[in-house]
Amino acid sequence: MALACKDLGLAVDLGRDLGVSTELSALVEQVYRRAKAQHGALAGEMSPVRLYEALAGREFRLPPPTATLDAAPVTV
């Protein structure tokens, strides 16, 4: 999270210095900073999603695949 927040901050600052609209990047930066504050600087890339999962009271992630190893054999 720390590195992502730093990079987003640099991108937003550069965009502003160059006169480029950074509205969406600034919003993403805010979300990442909230995730860093809540989950810590070493938190993983799913931390921003975890913020919204907590607000919604449910997980947004898909369940793991249920592949079977004894499926039909592959012939070559």
Does 11 map to a domain? yes
Backbone torsion region of residue 59, taken as left when φ is above 0, otherwise alpha when ψ lies between -120 and 50, otherwise beta: beta
Whole-angstrom distance, CA of residue 67 vs CA of residue 72: 12
Does 49 map to a domain? yes
Does 67 map to a domain? no
With a cut of 80, say whether residue 73 has pLDDT above it: no
Pick from 27, 31, 23, 28: nearest CA to 52:
31
Does 62 map to a domain? no
Q: 58 — phi, psi (to 5°)?
A: -155, 160
pLDDT, tens digit, 9 for 90 and up, residues 4-52: 999 999 999 999 999 999 999 999 999 999 999 999 999 999 999 999 9
Does 33 map to a domain? yes
Does 14 map to a domain? yes
Q: What is the pLDDT of residue 64?
A: 85
Element (H, E) at 5: helix 2-18
Does 73 map to a domain? no
Q: What is the pLDDT of residue 70?
A: 61
Question: Residue 18 belongs to what domain range?
Answer: 2-56
pLDDT, tens digit, 9 for 90 and up, residues 55-69: 999 998 888 888 666
pTM, 2 dp: 0.74
